[in-house]
Structure 1
Amino acid sequence: MKKRILIGVGIFVSLLLILLVLLIIFRGKLLEYTIKKVEARIENKYPVDFKVQDAHFTDINSVVLSGISLVPHDRDTLFVTDSVHATVSIRSILKGRIVFDKLQVANGYLTARKNGDINNFTFLFKSDKAEPADTTAKGGRNYGELLNRLIETAFDNVPNQVDFKNLNVSYESPNRTIAVKMPFLKMDDGTINTELTIQMDSIVNNMRVRGTIDPGDYNLSASVYASDKNGIRVPYVEEKFGGTVAFDTLHVSLEDKKYRKDRLTLRGNAKVQNLVVNHPRIATEDVLVKESAVDYVVTIGKDFYAIEEPTKVRVNHAVANLQASYQSNPSKIIDLKVNTEKIPANDFFESLPPGLFENLDGIKAQGTLQYKMSFHVNMDQLDSLKFDSDLDASKDFKILKWGKTNIEKINGSFVHTVYEYGKPVRTFTVGPANPFFAPISQISPYLRNAILTAEDAGFYKHNGFHEEAFRQAIIKNLKEGEFVRGGSTISMQLVKNVFLTRHKTITRKVEEAIIVWLIENLDLVSKNRMFEVYLNIIEWGPNVYGAKDASRFYFGKQPSELNLAESIFLTSIIPSPKRYRSSFDSHGNLRNWKGYYYRLIGGIMRRRGLITEAEYENLYPNVTLYGRARDLIVTAPDTSMSEEPDTSEFELETIDLLDL
């Protein structure tokens, strides 16, 4: 019995050995069959010619593939490589099929080209549906669907184990060239490791990338590090926006992807270290953010883009919850909400990036701050625009130490510098030491009330901001399609003139708002003192600053002596003081169109009890120039000896207009 068993075992082993020998002998045929099958599968899926010129075993389970190319039909070659070394598992050979493992790819070249509508790569993103990937659905393209295809194509083609040597990727078009060189790229069971050099136009970045990827769940986590002292510069920013963006390290992850009801939702997070931003519209110098991060939920669909809850944005120590959406069809609707949790005041000020808010650098504070803002606009119903903004402070909030700028300096005499186009043009003292300084009590009530009426009627009531005026300014600007109205209060104008340079940056408005909030909510400066300083520093003409300088320049009198008509004129040129001459004809008379302004401001002052009915009835839209202003404005020949023209008709017409 034992002998029969031994004989049977021997026969079985012999058969296995014979089978193994046969498989080894015919493995070349099996390899050839496998290659043809792979070529057929790729060519059936895509409109391409995929070829492997040579494939052979170098030992029992090692294969070399050479002359590999992928050429789209009627297009330039997309990919070629010198050779691919692969390991074939013995088990797969025994099963009569070949499974490649541990790929080593040498000298690979992936070259994407685009010229107009012709390219050699978009076929990779074709949909399983009948229409091609670039088909635009009726009413607009669904970028969520397009991005979903791109992500799925990329993840579906991630190899399990591959080692690239000298991989080169490039993109060429008439307007742009991108070249990526990787000395090595290793992917092993979901781990990624590479070094690369990316040249995009004139920008060259050297970096390292480490990360993990799970194609099945569409998970990706990667860290990008600069491998030299130049950091990593973001391309296109200088070309398209005239600025620069650079950073040292970027950590990014994709944690979840869902495509439902024609909308793609992505979840993940990102963190940037040592982010440097430079743009003349943001700040006049480099803005450094040591660390910023975002936990994002983003949804993209047809005519729809949204940043959804629970997206959180962190800048250094300050954290805010962000929600935003943009719908472009059937109406353009924009929604934005920003909410912060209670932030320790010190963390808030320390989180402000250096170089961004010069006057707030170094402030020390106690207590907490919390900010809330909401914005909604339907571009087809602009008058229904909604805007709310509120910064709350705890009861114990206070400034312990001023930093670079003492905001309370305006309570006493101080030196003020006037800037134009970012450059200083005049410096003077705001206080009794300056002979042109006028205490508020020595400035005509007509001028004070006319300015309050025109510029900020609620100045003595609000806390530095007039949300309705700001809302109306946004509506006006959106209707006009350009910036035509500001909505600034006198508090905001004062802060802009005293503390901020005239560089028109986006962040200047934010810094202005913070300083105004501090002054008003901490009662650092009385309203009378704020108005007094404002009246003594605002521009009223060519190198003319302050009410005393203006009253002498135009009328040769003290500001306390200004009458109603003179005060309304001075008020009218505050928004555009350099255009003061346009208010007059060559004889020094106010132009007819000024009558509307007089009627408007005078009428409001009358209704508010700031002037009497008689003063309003006697208000005539003209003034008499003296001093330097007359020499600059009056250019017509002197006709004072001739008979004066009959102005009764004009006077009657003007009075009638004022009565309206």
Structure 2
Amino acid sequence: MSKFKEFFSRHKKKLLIGLGIFVALIVVLIVVFLVNRQRLLQYAVTKVIQKVENKYPADLHIGQATFLDLNTVLVTDIGFTPNNGTKLLQVDTVEATVSFRSLFLGRLVFKQFDVASGLVTAVRKDSVDNFSFLLKSKKEKETPEANKPRTNYGTVLNRLIETAFENVPDGVNFRDLGVVFRNNDRVIDMRLPSLTVEDGAILALMTISTDSVTNTMRVNGVIDPDRYLLSAKMYGEEKGGITVPYIQQKFGATMHFDTLSLSITDKEFKNNQLTITGETSAHSLVLNHPKIADEDVFVRDGALKYVITLGDHYYSLDTLSEVRINKAVFYPRATYETRPNRKIGIKIDSPNIEANDLFESMPPGLFDSFQGMKATGSFDYHLNFYVDMAKVDSLTFESDLNAQNLKITDYGAVDLRKLNQEFTHMVYEDGKVVREFKVGPSNPNFVPYNQISDYLKHAILTAEDPRFFSHKGFHEGAFRMSLITNIKEKSFVRGGSTVSMQLVKNAFLTRKKTITRKVEEALIVWLIENQKLVSKQRMYEVYLNIIEWGPNVYGVKEGAEFYFSKHPSQLTLEESLFMASIVPKPKQYRTYFDVYGGLRAYPRYFFRLISGNMAKRGLISESERQSVSPYVNLQGRAGNFVIARPDTTQVTMDTLQLAPIDLLDF
């Protein structure tokens, strides 16, 4: 310290002179800046215009830019118009705090924004628009499609996220802004009366109109550019919440909710792959789509915690992701690879879910059979699906629902034990009841199990579900074979339903083909089979007494009389094989015969295959198999409706509507 004092006292005069010179230079620079700041501002504006117009085939117009005080700039009459196109952007005024340093560098970097009266108008007419030019520069040449490099969507999205976050000003105040998108005859109009961002807090009021839907909503959120954090919550200003536009026209669905939350909590870009972490949730979500369910689907609370990875040929929903539907929680994982071959993988795991929590979490409209059901115990579920499209035969499918100490205490809306006693069966077509009848002794057409021909019982099970009496409602091998066949044929040509599943579909559910009906069907089958609510023999008895056998022909007695004027106990082997062959498509029996009244190639092949399998299983003798005739005599009313045409049938294994289990058993 003494040395410093000695040095300062010795050079005091020189130090003061130097400090004075430095202060004088600063003052001179400030004066020079103040005198020339307008010129620097104009230079920066010119540079911005040149840069934009060199990059894009468009005209950027800035009417005037002036300083209002030391570092506040007012810019008026901003317009951005593509060459030979409709004006894309028009803003009346922008008042902003500008960085001194950026002015000296010929750039405009703003710290605070106050934007008033702006309009973005995006227009597309057929294949012509006024905005796609932003995706490529003016100097960029068209590259032949075959030579274009594959798009790495992870890289693209990472660039967009970083650009957006890096350019977030310290403060934003938007007033009276609008965005209009005209796509041929369709218009989406968004109005933003106010949007403020202050110290990371976001507040906004917006109105979106499209088709016949208008939503007015509040948006609250936070943004932290340094941490790549964005969180926003949207909720409706009016009763009824927010209706999601566009999906009615695009997908034929309607959706609305009270509150929707979206967030990005982290991102990482490594090895050309982008990983995004975040969460989305909805409260009081209502969805309606005829392919999903027959009526409105209501989800009180739903949430998705996601970890998504995107690369140049790889996309995944990672293991840390979580789906919550009310009280039920699941952990999904999905992968999709595009090179060198398409590969799809899906895994779903659940922790132990209390039985009541699971039943209470099932959304009304999706699983109506379980509404009001109560039970003790718990469930857990595991699914593993994987397919390499170049090796479809190696497809993996494993599905396992387990229960611990499960006991149903209240069956709620639907008593799954109803099959044990006489009940009224309703037949649905196109969602409407076309017929109803009693299934039990009070119906003269009801036939007890032991009064049905063994030939018929064995033929149907051999074709539809050979392991019915040993499995618990499902056969993974059969379902896996169905998936393989359908993927190869690129269409639904073979189902994997067991007799248990067909029975539940007919006895408990409407015939509408919705996504969730199959899940509901599987859950009912699981409960009936695993809780042993109904015996196997009774299930098969009911099945034979309610399935369709022809036009308005239901139950085995009506079927036997319609085709052969016989009681089901009197059916021969050939007659039983014929009735088994029409189970998948009972209304098409008329096309089974040629102009001479003989069976066509398809039923003849069915007779040989099924009788052979029955003999291998010991259900008929070898002599009975060898004596099977490729001819049946329709003595009942059905014979009057046969269409006699030449036989041009080409029969292959895929033509047959058989359970894939047949191929596994023999």
TM-score, reference length from structure 1 = 0.87
Cα shift at 1:144:
2.1
Cα shift at 1:56:
3.3
Q: Deviations over 1:538-595 (max 9, x none)?
A: 1111221111121122112211111111111111111111111112345644335422
Distance 1:137 1:367, change over 3 A: farther
| Residue 519 (str. 1) matches residue 528 (str. 2) | yes
Distance 1:150 1:116, change over 3 A: farther
RMSD (CA atoms): 3.4
Cα shift at 1:122:
5.2
| Residue 55 (str. 1) matches residue 45 (str. 2) | no
Give, in whole Å, the separation in 2 of the partners of 1:565 and 1:586. 20
Q: Deviations over 1:290-329 (max 9, x none)?
A: 1111110111222322111111111111111111111122
Q: Is the 8 A contact 2:378 2:406 kept in 1?
A: yes
Question: Higher mean Cα deviation, 112-121 or 542-551?
Answer: 112-121
**Hey, what does 1:646 align to over in structure 2?**
none
Q: Is the 8 A contact 2:45 2:108 kept in 1?
A: no
**Helix, strand or coil at the partner of 2:381:** strand
Letter in 1 for 2:117: N
**Helix, strand or coil at the partner of 2:383:** strand
Cα shift at 1:461:
0.4
**Hey, what does 2:659 align to over in structure 1?**
none
Cα shift at 1:615:
1.4
Letter in 1 for 2:365: G
Count how many residue pairs are aligned between Structure 1 and Structure 2. Answer: 630
Q: 1:528 aligns with which of 522, 533, 537?
A: 537
**Helix, strand or coil at the partner of 1:282:** coil
**Hey, what does 1:193 align to over in structure 2?**
203
Q: Is the 8 A contact 1:572 1:597 kept in 2?
A: yes
**Hey, what does 1:349 align to over in structure 2?**
359
Residues 597-636 of structure 1: pairs in structure 2 closer than 5 A: 597-633=606-642
Letter in 1 for 2:150: G
Question: Higher mean Cα deviation, 537-546 or 428-437?
Answer: 537-546
Give, in whole Å, the separation in 2 of the partners of 1:630 and 1:433. 30
Cα shift at 1:263:
2.0
Residues 118-133 of structure 1: pairs in structure 2 closer than 5 A: 120-121=130-131
| Residue 574 (str. 1) matches residue 609 (str. 2) | no
Cα shift at 1:224:
1.2
**Hey, what does 1:421 align to over in structure 2?**
430
Q: Deviations over 1:89-112 (max 9, x none)?
A: 999999x99985543211112233
Q: Is the 8 A contact 2:581 2:606 kept in 1?
A: yes
Residues 323-472 of structure 1: pairs in structure 2 closer than 5 A: 323-394=333-404, 396-472=405-481
Structure 2 gap ranges (5+): 1-17, 646-666
Residues 195-210 of structure 1: pairs in structure 2 closer than 5 A: 195-210=205-220
| Residue 171 (str. 1) matches residue 171 (str. 2) | no
Distance 1:221 1:337, change over 3 A: same
Question: Higher mean Cα deviation, 506-515 or 415-424?
Answer: 415-424
Q: Is the 8 A contact 2:122 2:131 kept in 1?
A: yes
**Hey, what does 1:82 align to over in structure 2?**
92
Q: 2:570 aligns with which of 561, 564, 579?
A: 561
Give, in whole Å, the separation in 2 of the partners of 1:99 and 1:561. 92
Give, in whole Å, the separation in 2 of the partners of 1:593 and 1:103. 76
Give, in whole Å, the separation in 2 of the partners of 1:184 and 1:248. 21
Distance 1:22 1:154, change over 3 A: closer
Q: 1:540 aligns with which of 518, 542, 549?
A: 549
**Hey, what does 1:238 align to over in structure 2?**
248
Q: Is the 8 A contact 1:588 1:634 kept in 2?
A: no
| Residue 274 (str. 1) matches residue 301 (str. 2) | no
**Helix, strand or coil at the partner of 2:512:** coil
**Helix, strand or coil at the partner of 2:424:** strand
Letter in 2 for 1:263: Q
**Hey, what does 2:4 align to over in structure 1?**
none
Distance 1:262 1:172, change over 3 A: farther
Letter in 1 for 2:582: I
**Hey, what does 1:149 align to over in structure 2?**
159
Give, in whole Å, the separation in 1 of the partners of 2:26 and 2:601. 111
Letter in 1 for 2:524: I
Structure 1 gap ranges (5+): 1-7, 637-660
Letter in 2 for 1:256: D
**Hey, what does 2:227 align to over in structure 1?**
217
Give, in whole Å, the separation in 1 of the partners of 2:311 and 2:102. 44
Distance 1:348 1:105, change over 3 A: same
Q: Is the 8 A contact 1:125 1:133 kept in 2?
A: no
Question: Higher mean Cα deviation, 524-533 or 234-243?
Answer: 234-243
Q: Is the 8 A contact 1:369 1:391 kept in 2?
A: yes
Letter in 2 for 1:210: N
Cα shift at 1:30:
5.4
Cα shift at 1:146:
2.3
Q: Is the 8 A contact 1:126 1:133 kept in 2?
A: no
Residues 470-481 of structure 1: pairs in structure 2 closer than 5 A: 470-481=479-490
Distance 1:76 1:153, change over 3 A: farther
**Hey, what does 1:5 align to over in structure 2?**
none
Q: Is the 8 A contact 1:136 1:142 kept in 2?
A: no
**Helix, strand or coil at the partner of 1:392:** strand
Q: 1:500 aligns with which of 502, 509, 515?
A: 509
TM-score, reference length from structure 2 = 0.86
